[in-house]
Amino acid sequence: MTPRLILASLSPRRSDVLAQLGLDHLVMPADVDESYLDGETPAEHVQRLARAKATVISEREPGALVIGGDTVVLDGTRVLGKPEHDRAAVEVLISLAGREHVVLSGIALAGPHGVASSVSETAVRFRAFSEDAARAYVATGEPLDKAGAYGIQGMGAALVEGIDGDYYSVMGFPMDAFVNVLREAGWRYDFGSLTPTT
């Protein structure tokens, strides 16, 4: 029997991926401080936050399996968060045009087993495009709630020339990492359900 599954995130994209997998789930966003710790690398940051979000909800919902996630977009060493306004979104997009950047996605699964977590790294190459194209995309409103100012699963797909890694990681839900943390926690994904392996 599939256990009660909770997504500790308001991200519609993460929820969509779970629905695509045929996994019924509840959405209970976790309120955690997302500030960087001194000396923390981006990879350490996304893993720590994914674990923290999953743990906060797991402590309130004993017996459930709780998924936490966090994603950052990196241009070299520069962390690209969600743009504060249209102008910032255009500037970010232009800075990435014709170049490669990296998306780091952390995922964690908390429950009776404790917490299992992993980080996925995916390189994304943008095609060359003009400032007018960036402005037209920003005018759709899609980039404003997304790290790196684009959504690969939406209209932003037209900006992408190619990726090296997990497409779902760029959406914020690294599929390979999810299957691995399930296994580490004693579960197997059985195409629409979860089955204990122990």
70 classed as catalytic: yes
Question: Cα dist. 131→91, 99, 120, 139, 147 in Å?
Answer: 9, 15, 30, 12, 19
With tokens 């241009």, the residue in question is: 75
Map the chain to HEC letters. CCCCEEECCCCHHHHHHHHHCCCCCEECCCCCCCCCCCCCCHHHHHHHHHHHHHHHHHHHCCCCEEEEEEEEEEECCEEECCCCCHHHHHHHHHHHCCCEEEEEEEEEEEECCEEEEEEEEEEEEECCCCHHHHHHHHCCCHHHHCHHHCCCCCHHHHHEEEEECCHHHHHCCCHHHHHHHHHHCCEEECCCCEEECC
Q: Find the catalytic residue in 70, 75, 164, 190.
A: 70
How, if at all, do strands 187-189 and 160-164 pair? unpaired
Active site residues: 70
